[in-house]
Amino acid sequence: MEIKGIDVSSYQGNPDWAKVSNSGTKFAILRIHQKSGTDASFEHNYKGCKSNGILIGGYKYSYALTPAQAIDEAENVLSVLCGRGLDFPVFYDLEWSQQRSLGKQAVENIAVAFLTRIKKAGYKVGIYCNLDWYNNVLSGVLKQYDCWIARYPVNDNGSVQERLRPNVGAGWQYSSKGKVPGISGNVDMDVFYKDYRGTMQKGETKMVKISNCGHDEHGRYAGGKAGDQTGTEYQIMNWYSRPWLCVLRFNDAKIATMIADMATKAAQNNLIGYDQGTAGNSNDRYSFWRHLKASNYDPAQITVACESDCSASTAAIVKGAGYRLNNARLKAVSIYLTTRNMRAAMKIAGAKVLTDRKYLTSGDYLKAGDILLNDNHHVAIAVTTGAKANTLSASTILSKTPKWVGKVTANTLNVRTWAGTEYAQLKSYPTLAKGNLVDVCDTIKAKDGASWYYIRIAGKYFGFVSTKYICKV
C-alpha cells in the first residue's frame, strides 16, 4: 500500500487545510517543537488537520548532544502535545552534523533516550533521516525503528523519481519542492507504506479525558487576547503524562461530579482562554473567577471573554463547586492558589492525596473529578473515568470504623490495595500470618463478585483481604 502526504513547519506559514485536504493529501507530519520553542504554526496546523480529516504525525529536529538533552527534547514535545492524539508516529529528525561527529554509538544513545521517553507517553515513534545517514550513521538498533527516509534529486521538481526510491524504510520523503493547493511556496512531499491507523497509538478514543488549561493562542504562557482564540487554550483532551506527582480526589461523589461537570463546561466555553497575566492587567488570569461568580458559578453561562491559567482555573472550579453545593471547606479555597501550594490546600478542603504509581502513569484508575497535579509545573482535571477505576457511589464509600475483630485462618494472607487479586499488595503491610487479629471495618464486592473485607491492621494500616480467610472472634 501507499499513502501520500506532506510534512510542514512554520516555514509554510498557515496553510489553508481545507484546500490541502481537497487536493487529496491524506496525512501531514507537523513539526512540533523547534530550537526556540513550540513551532509557530503547530497549533494552526493541528487544528486544521483535525478539522479537515487529515491524518497527523509529528517530528522534532534534534540538537541533542547527550541523552539527557534528548530527554529534554522529548519533554518539550510532550509538553506541546499535551496528550493530544496522533495518527502517525513522532519522528526524531536526525541530520545535524555535530551529532554525526559524535559517532554511531553516541547517536544511538541520544536517539534511544528520546524515542523511549516518547513511547512511554503512549505515542508511536520513528526516525527521520536521509539515506546517507541511514546507511552510515544509524546503528542496527536504530534501524529497527520505523524509518522515514529522505532522498530526492539535485534538480528536484516536486515529482516522484522512482529511480531514487529507497528499498528500506516505512516512508519516503521524495521531494522538498512540492506544490500543494492551500500552501504558499514549496512543501516536502512524502509517501508511506504503512497505515498507522490500525496500530496501538495514543489517539482520540479509549483514553481518559482531562480538562486542560495550558497555553495561549500562540503556544505561550502570556500575552494573548482574552478568550480561547483557537479552541485549544482551554480544552478537553486525552490524558497524558506531565508527569503527574499526585492525584487529588474528593471521595464525595457529589463534589467529584460537580468538579468534572464545571471543568468540562469551562473547557467547552471558548470565551474562557489562557493567560498567566496578573491581577489588574488586561490579561488577568483571575478574570475567569470574577465572571464565574457573576454567572451563578456555571462556566457555561459566562458570556464575557476572560482568562485563567491551570492553577487559577482549578481553584476557581473547586471554589465554585463549594458555592453550588454549599460546602464550607470548598468555599474557603483561595483562587490565588499555585501548583506549589495546591496539594496542601486541597487536602484541607477534603481531598485525598493519591501517590500510588497506578494513578500517575495512566488514566486507567482515574475518576471524573480527580485533580492531576505536578507541584512544580501544571494541574488539570479528569472529566471521565478510567476503565479500571472503582466507581463507588457516595453511599458505598467505605467506613474506617471497626465493626468487629477478625482472625486470619490462612497460613499467609495477602493484603491488597483494593478488593481483588489483580490489585497490588499493600506496601506498608503486604501480608498477614495465621492467627493475626485485625479490625474489620467494611465489606465490598470485587469485580468478579467475591466478597472482601476492608480491614485495619495494628490500628493504623488499612487494606483489603478475602473474606474466605477471616473468621470472627
How many other β-carbons are positioned within 10 Å of the β-carbon of residue 277?
A: 22
Report CA torsion sign: 37, 41, 45, 46. Answer: positive
Asked which of 323, 352, 382 is the last residue of a domain, the reply is 382
Question: Which residue, 192, 215, 206, is CA-closest to 122?
Answer: 206
- The cell numbers describing 184, all together, are 504558499
Please tell me the predicted confidence (pLDDT) of residue 280.
63
Q: Do 103 and 148 share a structural domain?
A: yes
Rounded CA separation 174/275 (Å) = 41
Q: Which of 15-29, 104-118, 173-187, 223-237 has the lowest mean pLDDT?
A: 223-237
pLDDT tens by residue, 431-449:
999 999 999 999 888 877 7
Q: Do 187 and 215 share a structural domain?
A: no
Please name the amino acid found at residue 121.
Answer: A
SS (H, E, C) 141-160: CHHHCEEEEECCCCCCCCCC
Please tell me the predicted confidence (pLDDT) of residue 399.
80
Asked which of 192, 217, 252 is the last residue of a domain, the reply is 192
Mean pLDDT value across the chain = 90
pLDDT tens by residue, 381-425:
999 888 778 644 434 567 888 999 999 999 999 999 888 888 888
Q: Do 150 and 220 share a structural domain?
A: no
Q: Is residue 389 part of a domain?
A: no
Residue 193 contacts residue 203 (beta carbons within 8 Å): no
Rounded CA separation 119/103 (Å) = 24
Q: Residue 137's domain is classified under what CATH number?
A: 3.20.20.80
* pLDDT category of residue 203 using cuts at 50, 70 and 90: very low
Report cis status (omega within 30 of 0) of the bond before 430.
Answer: no
**b/e sequence 324-350, b meaning 16+ C-beta within 10 Å:** bbebeebeebebebebeebbebbeebb
What range defines the domain where residue 417 resides?
404-472
Rounded CA separation 342/374 (Å) = 10
Q: Is residue 204 part of a domain?
A: no
pLDDT tens by residue, 70-81:
999 999 999 898
Rounded CA separation 132/48 (Å) = 34
Q: Residue 427's domain is classified under what CATH number?
A: 2.30.30.40
Residue 290 contacts residue 320 (beta carbons within 8 Å): no
Q: Do 174 and 108 share a structural domain?
A: yes
Q: Is residue 145 part of a domain?
A: yes
Helices of type H across 326-369: 328-331, 339-348, 357-360
pLDDT tens by residue, 27-48:
999 999 998 889 999 999 999 9
Rounded CA separation 300/271 (Å) = 10
Percent of the chain scoring above 70 in pLDDT: 95
How many structural domains are present in the chain? 3
Q: Do 365 and 278 share a structural domain?
A: yes
